[in-house]
Amino acid sequence: MRGAVLYGPKDIRFEERDTPRIVKPTDAIIRISATCVCGSDLWPYRGIQPITQPTPMGHEYCGIVEEVGSEVTRVKPGQFVIGSFFASDNTCPNCHAGYQTSCRHREFVGDAQAPFLRVPLADGTLVTTPEVPSEDMIPSLLTVSDVMGTGWFAADAANVKPGKTVVVVGDGAVGLLGVLSAKRMGAGRIIAMSRHETRQKLAREFGADDIVIERGNEGVARIKELTDGIGADSVLECVGTQESMMQAIRSTRPGGYIGYVGVPHGVELNGEKLFFSHVHLHGGPAPVRRYLPELIDLVWNGKINPGKVFDLKLPLDQVAEGYRAMDERRAIKSLLRP
């Protein structure tokens, strides 16, 4: 088969790779129905997170089970399944606590931009849909594999509750789905920070009430202005830079909550500033597995349509254009179909 391999900055190739096969009896092989490019794929693509060797790419996936190992009992060939970017046993103490991305046996699933994928710990990792979905539902189901699950975790970690005021820092796909999540959780007012017209439009469609285009000191001042000088109850940090993290901390009211899901790159927090900010910080790699049943159900019943973040749809062999378009911010998120 052919799949996506990153060779270095801006050098993604679609080339021959070994077709995955069952390695452990707990594995499953799935035939990918759809995959996509993640905002976090852009860190190595841009060379900010250096790679040392040609690296297969892709960690968002859904598809049909092709084959299972001898110890797999919960999923069967022919079923449509969705999993997270970390395989988890879903039985260890960390999984039971709802932090499957810290599973004691976790394995990164990192080569999904291909027609076939090996998923370790299949019983713990994969969740089935009620039946094989219609074509039009596949983009939304794909999002729950990571981007929607991550936006949902950001809102959950930021303690979004009915009536609360929410700020979302970052207008990438995760930030936009953070808006959708906050709306679904009953937020009273949602303020999205975005400078891009198409993203502002989608943020409003997903439930944002206000848009703030300013950043830094002006951004903080604008949030304070909109929140009676106090700051927001809940802030979703969906970027992962020093600037965005400080934006989040400074936009939160004393006693408020920050859910941070942008993978930090060069973020350093000043202990004294953090101490006097009086905020709750909770984040990390989203335990998507915890939310899969609930989010699949919401998509399946037409309650949410997160697939709208895909504004570019390409055949898998054009994966390089999928990366380029996101890197140049011509696309919010690129969907790839084998």
CB-nearer residue toward Zn ion: 105 or 204: 105
Q: Is 64 in the site for Zn ion (CB under 5 A)?
A: no
Give whichever of 175 and 285 is closer to Zn ion, judged by the CB atom: 285
Q: Which stretch binds Zn ion (CB under 5 A): 83-91, 156-164, 205-213, 279-287?
A: 83-91
> Closest CB to Zn ion among 35 and 100?
100
Among 92, 137, 221, 267, binds Zn ion (CB under 5 A): 92
Q: Which is nearer to Zn ion, 173 or 288 (CB)?
A: 288
Q: How far apart are the first and last CA of the chain?
A: 11
- Kindly determine how many residues on this chain lie close enough to bind Zn ion according to the rule CB under 5 A: 5
Which stretch, 81-89, 170-178, 274-282, 320-328, contacts Zn ion (CB under 5 A)? 81-89
Q: How far is the CB of 102 from Zn ion (least distance, A)?
A: 8
Look-up of token digits 């699949």? 296
Which residue of 27, 89, 146, 156 would you call a contact of Zn ion, by CB under 5 A?
Answer: 89
Minimal distance, residue 103 CB to Zn ion, in Å: 3
Query: CB 77: neighbour CB atoms within 10 A?
Result: 14
CB of 101 to Zn ion, least distance (A): 10
- Assigned token pair, 251: 């936009």
The nearest distance, CB 129 to Zn ion, in angstroms, is 23
Q: Which is nearer to Zn ion, 94 or 113 (CB)?
A: 94
Q: Measured between alpha carbons, how far is 79 from 130 in angstroms, rounded to an integer?
A: 9
User: Taking the CB of residue 179, how many other CB atoms lie within 10 A of it?
Assistant: 29
d(CA 141, CA 167): 26
Q: What is the C-alpha separation between 240 and 158, in angstroms, rounded?
A: 15
C-alpha pair distances (Å), 285 with each of 108, 171, 275: 12, 18, 24
Which amino acid is it at 34? Answer: A
Compare residues 120 and 133 and give the one whose CB is closer to Zn ion.
Answer: 120
Q: Kindly identify the residues of this chain, within the stretch 95-124, that bind Zn ion according to CB under 5 A.
A: 95, 103
**191 class by beta-carbon count within 10 Å (0-12 exposed, 13-18 middle, 19+ buried):** buried
- CA angle at 161 for the pair 160 and 165, rounded to the nearest 5°: 65
* Site residues for Zn ion per CB under 5 A: 88-89, 92, 95, 103
